[in-house]
Amino acid sequence: MTFSPLFETTKLGPYTLKNRIVLPPLTRSRSSQPGNVPNKLMANYYAQRAGAGFMVTEGTQIEPRGQGYAWTPGIHSEEQVQGWKQVTKAVHEQDSIIFCQLWHVGRVSHTSLQPNQAAPVSPSAIKADAVKVFIETAPEQGELADPSEPRALSTSEVEALVKMYKQAAINAKAAGFDGVELHCANGYLVNQFISEHTNDRTDKYGGSLENRLRFLKEITQENY
């Protein structure tokens, strides 16, 4: 018999993982409508994969403007928190650990996904190209589309977003998650602040590398 460390326990912060298999974040677009609420189908999906020692949820929007694909779940409403409890319970029953991936797509969105059909928000009014979003065209039907022209966030709106990340983390805790993962990659909001190609701001959140990293720094340094 071949011995594999894959099936050995390991430590992750305060947690002991039952093995070293990880489920990465995978967008499924299966939340209940209206409200982008996690549901039984999603609980089954995660339960089926809870043989993994560590799981990260699909990208989960921290606020309504953070959505860039139809039917992705959120973690900003009470209904969503209650919905996620089914998922965390099902995963914990199999002794796996699950983190919620906190997501804000920023400019990678479409007016049809935004509250009041408004322009998506971004560090700067620079449109995304070479990327598609997924929009609803009819109930349970959708198609890929080009992202809409974004508008630049004001400084006070950026400060408010930092607080929204904090609230989303608090909500994740209330929903039974063991932790959160910040989605800072793939051209979404945090990444849009960091990159000089998508951030031409002249306030404290733009310009130098230190300024472009400030949004991420403030999110991580909020007192949770």
What residues are annotated to the active site? Answer: 188
The smaller minimum CB distance to ligand FMN, of residues 25 and 176, is found at: 25
At 223, the amino acid letter reads N
Alpha-carbon distances of 216 from 6, 7, 60, 189, 192, rounded to whole Å: 33, 34, 17, 10, 11
Binding site for ligand FMN (CB under 6 A): 24-27, 58-59, 101, 183
Smallest gap from Cβ 210 to ligand FMN, in A, equals 25
Report the Cα–Cα distance between both ends of the chain, in Å, rounded: 46
Place of tokens 């063991």: 178
Could you say which DSSP state residue 126 is in? -
Smallest gap from Cβ 59 to ligand FMN, in A, equals 3
Q: Which residues of 173-207 are buried (b: 16+ CB within 10 A; e: fewer)?
A: eebbbbbbbbbbeebbbbbbbbeeebbebeeebbe
Smallest gap from Cβ 105 to ligand FMN, in A, equals 10
The smaller minimum CB distance to ligand FMN, of residues 125 and 182, is found at: 182
Residues 6+ away with beta carbon under 8 Å from 165 = 62, 102, 104, 182, 219, 222
The smaller minimum CB distance to ligand FMN, of residues 24 and 35, is found at: 24
The smaller minimum CB distance to ligand FMN, of residues 96 and 152, is found at: 96
Smallest gap from Cβ 23 to ligand FMN, in A, equals 9
